[in-house]
A = this chain, B = another copy of it.
Amino acid sequence: MATEQVTTGQLTPDGSTATATTSIPHPLDQLSVFESDSARGTILKARGLNVTIQFRSIALEEPPKRELCRFLDLEHAGSLTAHTPRPARIAKVQYDVVRADKHIVYIESWVDVVERKEVEKRVIDKVHQAALTTNEFREFSDACFESPIYKEALAEFDLPDGFVVSIDPWPYGGPDADEIAPRYTQGLCFARDTRSGNEDSNHYGYPLPIIPVLDTYTKKIVRVDRLATGGKEDGLDYGTHTKDILSHCKPAEYVPELLSQPLRTDVKPLNVIQPEGPSFQVNGNLIEWQKWRFRLGFNPREGATLHDVRYDGRSVLYRLSLSEMTVPYGDPRPPFHRKQAFDFGDAGAGRAANNLSLGCDCLGVIKYFDAVLSEPDGKASVSKNVVCLHEQDNGIGWKHTNYRTQRAVVSRSRELVVQFIITLANYEYIFAYKLDQAGGITVETRATGIVSVVNIDPGKTSPWGNVVSEGAMAQNHQHLFCIRIDPAIDGHANTIVAEESLPMPMSREFNPFGNGYEVRQTPILKSKYFDASPMTNLTVKMTNPSKLNPVSGKPVSYKFIPSPSQLMLAHPDSIMAKRAQFAQHHVWVTRYKDRELWAGGEFTNQSQKEVDGVADAVARNENVDNDDVVVWNTFGLTHNPRVEDWPVMPVEIHQIHLRPADFFSANPAIDVLGTKNEASILSPGEEQCCASGDVQQNPTSHMQGTGPDLDPRSKL
């Protein structure tokens, strides 16, 4: 994504034309097209001519922390030269090797792209399944065309004239305990009304109650599951599978030209204009803004990541990422117990990232970043505009009015937003990292898109969801996210402290009138998990015990309050719960380990349990006191759909706020001048009433001063 200015080579922000000879990439740069293709070539050569290689992913393997820190220290010291030893540029290559006898082995190799050498290779046990590729999705419909059992199942229904079948491939979910599942995908079937001639006519209004299951190795439909269409009166039974299964269904259009209602005409334009340009500087993957400085990473699994995040030269975070999420559905009727997506591990947030458009996804002055991803043949390709960067105003940042003089000083809060948006079949997530001038970092998720629906018989209602359109029942489900915070609070040796505010007993000696409360600090010494506790105001502080704030005398820290959102509702003994241990507690504190990036483990696709995720990391029972620690925060929403979520749902927003707590010696935004915005105007018909100037005068407040200050010398 970026290069340094060490050489005379041209800077190439998207990395797409960078070559090893014209510039030296930063260790956190994505692989360039050249580097990625180099890794491909190395693997093809190493595996030889007797096998076929099906590539799944080629992406940068970030350097081991020890190596990267050595580099970053030199970089921050200004000591980098063209001769500084650098971490090797390593590509992680994921691919299937298909032998002549059709036997398939999934392999992960690490390739030094400069040396063109395979430096490590790992054959993955058959118990694990690699993430799905778009290629496997593409094969789904073709396999259905060829499948007698699929055709037979579909023939049970009369589709209305002008409708065609449209299939959304999904991960298979967790196989049952006794099930032997090779590599499967399942297809959610809908019908699309072609009569408008508009290819964006929304098929989700017409759900078909069948799910074909594809063996992605043999490319055969192995089974077609029949889905229940009943209501609460039917229990787990199927309900009425009539032949005219779609006759009661209704259109669910959302593209403007197909809407049955007129569009609003009274939304007048609201433009964000930055006449002097943005306040940020971008140099390759390096972003600098308002005392913040960080590197932007991007990978096929997690999408955008932040690295080496510093404020005013001081280290705050080593790495910040969205690590995993799972979406379990709460409809107990088989096979919906396998309706559970891990959007990062099963598919890949980076691979699913939208190519963003100017003026559609954000306002103002926008900087876009591209990604280098890989095609099924392993060749690199550039995906344009997968991340956007812009500033926004977030209202008042701080304000105080001196009631004696009526002088108000107001400072607005400017935010820098790093945003990416992913589409997974019916659904979208909008992810943003927001940095502010007061040293805060917000991680925001917005859930939108089209809720997943199944067919329901006419007139019935269901305990497992809500009828959002006639014949379409949106199933109750949860979205459980996990963010990974690798803190570096003024260095890498940090301690996590759980701070609680607790009531105190009344006592003559310590709390005579009962108003006192205790703030109790509990340092986390060994890796562990714990849950949010809003009623004790549980606050997680990431502290550096070796560095005390000069004002308060307390360890410098960043803090966040873990949201007490509902955790995984599925029964702990269910496959659904077992494969998402990370979704069963809010906070996990682990000791840093290279490559341990994914809360649910590397292999979520078709898993029956979480392997090498946060639960296993915690189980190592390692020291995390004054050590290199990682904090994982799980949060989410239980989404029992509303009719208003149809046909495309308004965003459901969730935010986690990382905020300095005795990290600085004062409000870091106190130097943000409360300049009057000269472009704001009164609405028509009102005259200007207030003096302009860089501060605000309150001429007529009713809470005026208390008389003169008291001069102790003259008056006493």
**CB of A278 within 8 Å of the partner chain:** yes
- Closest chain-B Cβ to A514's Cβ sits at a distance in Å of 3
CB distance from A484 to the nearest CB of B (A): 22
Report A561-592 residues with CB < 8 Å from chain B CB.
563-567, 569-571, 573-577
Segment with Cβ contacts to B, from A70-78, A120-128, A404-412:
A404-412
The stretch from A60-68, A81-89, A92-100, A258-266 touching chain B is A258-266
**Can you identify 7 A-B contacts, CB atoms within 8 angstroms?**
A236-B510, A269-B679, A272-B679, A359-B677, A366-B681, A504-B571, A643-B664
Q: Is there contact, CB below 8 Å, between A705 and B403?
A: no
Given pairs A361-B399, A366-B682, A396-B430, 19 additional interface contacts (CB within 8 A): A167-B706, A200-B405, A236-B512, A261-B671, A270-B414, A331-B516, A332-B504, A355-B698, A357-B698, A358-B676, A359-B678, A368-B686, A401-B428, A501-B566, A502-B569, A514-B574, A643-B662, A644-B667, A647-B667
Contact B644 A679 (CB under 8 A): no
Say yes or no: B686 contacts A367, CB within 8 Å. Answer: yes
Across the interface, which residues of B come within 8 angstroms of A398, CB to CB? 448-449, 648-651
**Distance between A382 CB and nearest chain B CB, rounded to angstroms:** 7
- A671 partner, pick from B263, B516, B665, beta carbons under 8 A: B263
A155 in contact (CB, < 8 A): yes
The yes or no answer to A421 lying at the interface (CB within 8 A) is yes
A570 contact set on B, CB distance < 8 A: 503, 514-515, 517
A267 at the interface (CB under 8 A from B): yes
The docked-state distance in angstroms from the alpha carbon of A674 to that of B361 is 10
Q: With an 8 A cutoff between CB atoms, is A240 at the interface?
A: no
Q: Are A689 and B363 in contact (CB under 8 A)?
A: no
Residues of B within 8 A of A367 (CB): 682-683, 686
Q: A509 touching B667 by the CB < 8 A rule?
A: no
Q: Are B400 and A448 in contact, CB atoms less than 8 angstroms apart?
A: yes
A-B pairs, top 9 by smallest CB distance, nearest first, are A332-B516, A514-B574, A514-B571, A337-B513, A271-B679, A359-B677, A438-B650, A357-B696, A165-B710
Task: State which of A30-38, A458-466, A488-496, A609-617 sits at the interface with chain B.
Answer: A458-466
Q: How far is the CA of A683 from the CA of B169 in the complex (A)?
A: 38
**A7 an interface residue at 8 Å Cβ cutoff?**
no
Q: Does A256 contact B (CB under 8 A)?
A: yes
Report the bound CA distance from A347 to B669 in whole Å: 30
Q: Which of A270, A366, A392, A505 has the most CB of B within 10 A?
A: A270
The reply to whether A330 and B516 form a contact with Cβ atoms under 8 Å apart is yes
Residue from the list B360, B476, B711 in contact with A677, Cβ < 8 A: B360
A391 at the interface (CB under 8 A from B): yes
Protomer copies: 2
At the interface, yes or no: A402 with Cβ under 8 Å from chain B?
Answer: yes
When the two chains form their complex, are residues A501 and B640 in contact, meaning their CB atoms are under 8 A apart?
Answer: yes
A45 contacts B by Cβ under 8 Å: no
Residue A117, interface by CB 8 Å: no
Q: A645 to B665, alpha carbons, bound, how many Å?
A: 10
Whether B268 and A461, one on each chain, are in contact in the complex, defined by CB atoms closer than 8 angstroms, is: no
Inter-chain CA distance A165–B710, complex, in Å, is: 5
Contact B138 A707 (CB under 8 A): yes
CB distance from A510 to the nearest CB of B (A): 7
- The answer on a CB contact under 8 Å between A357 and B710 is no
Is there a chain B Cβ closer than 8 Å to A209's Cβ? no
> CA separation between A705 and B142, bound complex, in Å?
12
| B contact residues around A439 at 8 Å (CB) | 644
* B357 touching A408, Cβ below 8 Å: yes
Q: Indicate if the CB atoms of B397 and A650 lie closer than 8 Å.
A: yes
Q: Is the CB of A707 within 8 A of B677?
A: no
Q: Is A700 interfacial (CB-CB < 8 Å)?
A: yes
